Amino acid sequence: DTGVSQNPRHKITKRGQNVTFRCDPISEHNRLYWYRQTLGQGPEFLTYFQNEAQLEKSRLLSDRFSAERPKGSFSTLEIQRTEQGDSAMYLCASSSSGGTQYFGPGTRLLVL
């Protein structure tokens, strides 16, 4: 069991640039979740997939955010035209059919 992996672990970008993060779930897990966490707060739900279908999106997921899971395996989260308020830890988790969610190490984004 290799666990959930996320890349990159850290990303520094300038305001207005686009960034893309990747999440590789635990191999047999059909559900994949994205969360965002700012300093001192608990993780906040962004969106989740069952296989390749995106089943729920939070109001936090503005038009500048898009997530995909094209083959039901890995997922990408893209942020277009980044803003300083996008600076946060982006967490990915996976589970089997609503069971326990296991989290990855996160990608820390800093927008300058």
Partner 1 sequence: DAKTTQPTSMDCAEGRAANLPCNHSTISGNEYVYWYRQIHSQGPQYIIHGLKNNETNEMASLIITEDRKSSTLILPHATLRDTAVYYCIVRAGYNTNAGKSTFGDGTTLTVKP
- What is the binding site for partner 1 (CB under 8 A)? 4, 31, 33, 35, 40-45, 48, 55-56, 58, 89, 91, 93, 96-106, 108
Contacts 24+ apart (CB under 8 A), 1-4: 1/26, 2/26, 2/27, 3/102, 3/104, 4/92, 4/93, 4/94, 4/102, 4/103, 4/104, 4/105
Q: Which is nearer to partner 1, 68 or 80 (CB)?
A: 68
Q: Which is nearer to partner 1, 61 or 111 (CB)?
A: 61
Rounded to a whole number of angstroms, the minimum distance from the CB of residue 74 to partner 1 is 17
Q: Which is nearer to partner 1, 5 or 80 (CB)?
A: 5
> CA 85 to CA 46: how far, in whole Å?
15
Preceding omega of 43 cis (within 30 degrees of 0) = no
Rounded to a whole number of angstroms, the minimum distance from the CB of residue 53 to partner 1 is 12
Paired strand residues for 47? 34, 57
Rounded to a whole number of angstroms, the minimum distance from the CB of residue 12 to partner 1 is 15
Rounded to a whole number of angstroms, the minimum distance from the CB of residue 46 to partner 1 is 9
